[in-house]
Amino acid sequence: MTTFKLTIPEFNEHTLALLQLLKSDKSIQIEQETEVDWYEELTQEQKASIERGLEDVKAGRVTPHETVISEIRQLIESKKTA
């Protein structure tokens, strides 16, 4: 037995016809896997949290990564000398 994996990004009349032809051969076993978008697997609470974060970005309520790293380094250094 040989196993092949096909990825079909979108169905159209040609891919549907090909699948129907393959399905007509009873010696060929076809299993369909549909990928689920990771976002759809999130809870409503997680989705709401993402939306709040996006609203914060739009409103400018963010701190650049470099600023945070600099502040943390300063805090660490102040604790070393204390």
Name the residue ranges covered by the structural domains of the chain. 13-81
pTM score, whole prediction:
0.48
Q: Given this model, what pLDDT does residue 59 score?
A: 97
pLDDT band of 67, cuts 50, 70, 90: very high
Indicate whether 5 pLDDT > 90: no
**For 11-41, what is the HEC assignment?**
CCHHHHHHHHHHHHCCCCCCCCCCCCCHHHH
Indicate if the pLDDT at residue 81 is higher than 90: no
Judge whether residue 71 has pLDDT over 90.
yes
Tens digit of each residue's pLDDT (9 = 90 or more) over 6-63: 888 788 898 889 888 988 998 888 888 777 889 999 999 999 999 999 999 999 999 9
